[in-house]
Amino acid sequence: MQRVFQRLRRYRRVFILLAVIGPGLITANADNDAGGIATYAQAGAQFRLQMLWLLVVITLCLIVINEMSARLGVITGKGLADLIRERFGVRSTAFAMALLLVANAFTTVAEFAGIAAGMELLGVPKYVSVPIAAVLIWLLVVRGSYPVVERVLLSLAIVYLTYVISGFLVHPDWSEVARASVVPQVQVSRAYFLLAIALIGTTITPWMQFYLQAAIAEKAIPAERLAYSRADVIVGSIVTDVIAFFIILATALTLAGHLSPDQLPVAGRFAGILFGVGLVGASLLAGSVVPLSTSYAVTEAFGFERGVDQPIREAPIFFGIFTTLIVVGALAVLIPGVPLVSMILLSQDVNGLILPAVLVYMLVLINDRRLMGRFVNGRFANTVAGITVAGLIVLTGLLLLSSAPGTPLSS
């Protein structure tokens, strides 16, 4: 009888995890979007394995920051934008939303650029693929319920397996890979610092904190299930950066020195097809999540009705923001002669430059005992998040210094 009860308890834990899981995995996987794939491919092609150590460090930061976001959502039952308005007032909220809108507008354009570039690798022109993708994304969110949207987005994450397969197909020297993953290799140049900012900005994005917390709040996950929500975001963070690891690895060993800013990497017919399929699937996933995260954040911030399950007439602002971003993102990519990959990479630098401000808001909120009670940050989480903010500020400073003629970094 005791064994039966033990089995029932185990099954109960599994059922609870399945009920809670979703926001962390969707957010983390959507983070490997067109911008992420292009940035990781650029890192591998331009610097081979030299940035693997930085990705390992970023993974630790991503786990800590996403766990903070999940904890804020579960304990308060509110999204990040809601909490910023209540804690900092309307002016600070307007500033945060302006930053988010700028970053997410660039990122949404990048997702449609990823769809266009991926489909062109498969022989479909962007004037066909982009409008169809925009309509499909719009119908999924506007006509679907939250559970349906969540299941479709989770299913799209399967495309990332193509990059893991590619990583093994190139037969790397695993001892060299292991060494590059733990031994820092810093190249003192403007290109290295710019790509380092993009690498951080594409892995820990401003939009993901707003979406993750809003999705958790919409699921109404109770405080006693915080451990399951933590498991969701930790597993999601590890999975997304394992994919990133293999993208850098594959491109480092097949494309080193051959990636130009206006040409997507293709190493043979099969690799090109694999890359195109993965890029399209990843861009469709993020092309749904990024505009959705913006809608959640802005409507939360200013108290409008929101939610995928709401009828359009009940939440016109929510669906209006979502639709506008989809239309703007698609139209920008359809402009003749627009450089797709340059546009994708630029969006990640914008994210990296805006991220410190969002993290400062989060740190103040999660260390407020009146808001979080005993669930405030510990020393370790504060240290990691603080180092992430300081690191981005230092990298930005070095980047600005490198822009000045005659400095050692300007080469």
Tokens 């349906």 locate to 148
Residue 266 reports pLDDT greater than 60 = no
pLDDT at 5: 41
Pick the CATH number of 24-410 from 3.65.10.10, 3.40.50.720, 3.40.50.11900, 1.20.1740.10: 1.20.1740.10
How far, CA to CA in Å, does 360 sit from each of 257, 365, 378? 37, 9, 16
Least confident of 59-68, 204-213, 286-295, 402-411: 402-411
User: Between residues 198 and 2, which one has the greater pLDDT?
Assistant: 198
The predicted pLDDT at position 4 comes to 41
The pLDDT of residue 8 is above 50: no
Q: What span, in angstroms and rounded, lies between the C-alpha atoms of 369 and 325?
A: 37
- The whole-number pLDDT of residue 221 equals 75
Return mean pLDDT, the chain: 77
Q: What is the pLDDT of residue 52?
A: 92
Query: What band does 18 get if pLDDT is binned at 50, 70 and 90?
Result: very low
Among 19-33, 39-53, 108-122, 165-179, the minimum mean pLDDT is found in 19-33
Indicate if the pLDDT at residue 238 is higher than 60: yes
Structural domain boundaries of the chain?
24-410
Q: How confident is the model at residue 119 (pLDDT cuts 50, 70, 90)?
A: confident
DSSP string, 347-391: HHHHHHHHHHHHHHHHHHHHT-HHHHGGGS--HHHHHHHHHHHHH
Distance, CA of 219 to chain centre: 20
Distance CA 362, CA 386 (A): 11
Q: What is the pLDDT of residue 306?
A: 78
**Per-residue pLDDT averaged across 365-394, rounded?**
87
pLDDT: which is higher, 118 or 377: 377
> How large is the C-alpha radius of gyration of the chain?
21
Q: CA-CA distance, 232 to 24, in Å (whole number)?
A: 5
Residue of 358, 301, 365, 297 whose CA lies nearest to 91: 301
- How many angstroms separate the CA atoms of 283 and 286, rounded? 5
Mean pLDDT, residues 85-111: 85
331 band by pLDDT with thresholds 50, 70 and 90? very high
pLDDT at 19: 44
Per-residue pLDDT at 268: 44
pLDDT at 254 over 80: no
- pLDDT more than 90, % of the chain: 10
pLDDT greater than 70 at residue 260: no
Stated as kind and residue range, the H or E segment containing 286 is helix 268-301
CB 106 within 8 A of CB 354: no
What is the percent of the chain where pLDDT is above 70? 76
pLDDT at 403 over 60: no
Task: Give the pLDDT confidence score for residue 323 in this predicted structure.
Answer: 92
Q: Which of 104-118, 137-151, 307-321, 371-385 has the lowest mean pLDDT?
A: 137-151
